[in-house]
């Protein structure tokens, strides 16, 4: 039997993941990447708004937005809408999944119970490494550090006491989500990247921007760009450049975080890290760009007052692509700020449950270790006699 016959004969391994996938970020993407590596076909169940509100609190994005965001992930084969919050064996069996994959933290339901307890007991649960330094809770906390006045006026910043108060209220203290900072590595970027160069004759399409808090508006735009049938390169502006035109505390996510979020999108082939704001002739030549695209949102002139797309426009290589979605990063931040106290309450309640679960798990492990130690001691005493 040759290699191809052997592969055909082998049973397809179907993997299940589920969750809220609210504000889909590179931590979610890394979980899905690892889950896909454990099998052949990845199915992702996403909870609806009602389930999330019941067990966790108000989601930032509505269910339709979250469904589409996950479908845009390059490692996802199928999305199940309205998946139950507690993962059951019936769910795995319904979709012919061999096992469920989740990060090495604990997700709790409204009663404070592990949502994966049933599949864990049945031995149909596997863990992947949780991405340190990011969570939806953490991102909400970052946005709450920006007051409404601070959004729209670059010369107004909170005084030290006010900023400290906001920080105390909104910083994550979860034993899983608030214990470390994301540290980028070349290996992580390679894992997310396709690692493929354009083929001879490929149409090279270039877009650039901040792509901060990578969201459904970005996905809708990139989907339209990818439909032009080309090799899509996304230039990501540096944190300093983004801050120069958005002011306040933007970007919410730093460059390395934004790189991974964009690379995880199936409509993107390559990312340029720290791309210049102006699309120059040198950049066009270097990447052999055939077309430069921008959404139908306004953009500011460069610091020298010139149009950043002057060169591609003169070459007849510039096109505005209406995405049909007006959502911007500012709108997401405004959602959070408008409902600040609801999200603070959600974060605090979630963290209290997680801390209690973490302490219970630690106590259980210590009890097991002590029991094993006593058993070994008794065994040694009997042997010595």
Average pLDDT of the segment spanning 23-29:
90
Q: What is the pLDDT of residues 107-160, one digit of tens each?
A: 888 888 999 999 999 999 999 988 877 777 778 777 876 533 322 333 333 333
The rounded distance, in Å, linking the Cα atoms of 312 and 321 is 15
Q: How many CB atoms lie within 10 A of CB 349?
A: 12
Q: What ranges make up the beta strands (E) of the chain?
A: 14-19, 41-46, 78-81, 99-103, 125-128, 204-209, 231-237, 270-275, 291-295, 318-321
Structure-model confidence comparison of residues 134 and 291, the more confident one = 291
Structure-model confidence comparison of residues 153 and 380, the more confident one = 380
Phi, psi dihedrals of residue 232, rounded to the nearest 5°: -90, 120
Structure-model confidence comparison of residues 177 and 342, the more confident one = 342
pLDDT at 233: 98
The rounded distance, in Å, linking the Cα atoms of 86 and 107 is 9
Domains of the chain, each with CATH number or no CATH: 11-131 (3.40.50.620), 138-183 (no CATH), 186-331 (3.40.50.620)
Q: Is the pLDDT of residue 176 over 60?
A: no
- Report whether 278 contacts 193 (CB < 8 A): no
Q: How many residues does the chain have?
A: 385
pLDDT at 224: 97
Across the strands, what pairs with 81? Answer: 46
**Confidence label for 372 from pLDDT (cuts 50, 70 and 90):** low
**Confidence label for 15 from pLDDT (cuts 50, 70 and 90):** very high
Across the strands, what pairs with 271? Answer: 234
pLDDT at 271: 97
**Confidence label for 364 from pLDDT (cuts 50, 70 and 90):** low
**Confidence label for 179 from pLDDT (cuts 50, 70 and 90):** very low
pLDDT at 345: 66
pLDDT at 380: 56
**Confidence label for 231 from pLDDT (cuts 50, 70 and 90):** very high
Q: What is the pLDDT of residues 295-346, one digit of tens each?
A: 998 999 999 999 999 999 999 999 999 999 989 998 988 887 777 666 666 6
Q: What is the pLDDT of residues 52-108, one digit of tens each?
A: 988 888 888 999 999 999 999 999 999 999 999 999 999 999 999 999 999 987 888
pLDDT at 126: 97
**Confidence label for 237 from pLDDT (cuts 50, 70 and 90):** very high
pLDDT at 169: 39
CA dihedral 188, 189, 194, 200 (to 10 degrees): -150
The rounded distance, in Å, linking the Cα atoms of 246 and 300 is 10
Whole-number Cα distances in Å, 334 to 166, 167, 276, 328, 338: 16, 18, 28, 10, 6
Across the chain, what does the average pLDDT equal?
A: 83
**Confidence label for 10 from pLDDT (cuts 50, 70 and 90):** confident
Reported pTM: 0.78
């Amino acid at each position: 039997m040759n290699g191809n016959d052997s592969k055909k004969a082998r049973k397809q391994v179907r993997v299940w993941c589920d969750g809220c996938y609210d504000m889909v970020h590179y931590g979610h993407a890394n979980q899905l990447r690892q889950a896909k590596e454990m099998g052949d076909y990845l199915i992702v169940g996403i909870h609806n708004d009602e389930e999330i509100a019941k067990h966790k609190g108000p989601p930032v994005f509505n269910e339709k937005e979250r469904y589409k965001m996950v479908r845009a992930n390059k490692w996802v084969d199928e999305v199940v809408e309205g998946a139950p919050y507690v993962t059951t064996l019936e769910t795995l069996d319904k979709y012919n999944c061999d096992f469920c994959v989740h990060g090495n933290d604990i997700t709790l339901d409204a009663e404070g119970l592990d949502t994966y307890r049933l599949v864990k007991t049945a031995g149909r649960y596997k863990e992947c490494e949780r991405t340190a330094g990011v969570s939806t809770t953490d991102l909400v906390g970052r946005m709450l550090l920006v007051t409404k006045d601070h959004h729209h006026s670059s010369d107004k910043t909170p005084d030290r006491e006010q900023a400290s108060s906001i920080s105390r209220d909104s910083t994550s203290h979860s034993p899983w989500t608030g214990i470390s900072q994301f540290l980028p590595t070349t290996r992580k970027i390679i894992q997310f990247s396709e690692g493929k160069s354009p083929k001879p004759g490929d149409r090279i399409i270039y877009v650039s921007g901040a792509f901060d808090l990578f969201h459904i508006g970005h996905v809708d735009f990139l989907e339209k760009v990818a439909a032009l049938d080309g090799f899509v390169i996304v230039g990501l502006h540096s944190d300093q450049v983004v801050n120069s035109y958005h002011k306040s505390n933007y970007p919410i996510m730093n460059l390395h975080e934004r790189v991974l979020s964009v690379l995880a999108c199936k409509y993107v082939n390559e990312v340029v890290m720290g791309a210049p704001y102006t699309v120059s002739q040198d950049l066009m030549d270097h990447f052999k760009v055939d077309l430069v695209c921008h959404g139908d949102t306004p953009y500011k002139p460069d610091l020298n007052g010139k149009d950043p797309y002057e060169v591609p426009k003169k070459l007849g290589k510039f096109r505005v692509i209406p995405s049909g979605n007006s959502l911007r990063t500012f709108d997401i931040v405004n959602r959070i700020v408008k409902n600040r106290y609801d999200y603070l309450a959600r974060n605090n309640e979630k963290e209290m449950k997680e801390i209690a679960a973490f302490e219970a798990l630690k106590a259980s492990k210590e009890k097991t270790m002590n029991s094993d130690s006593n058993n070994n001691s008794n065994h040694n005493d009997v042997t010595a006699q």
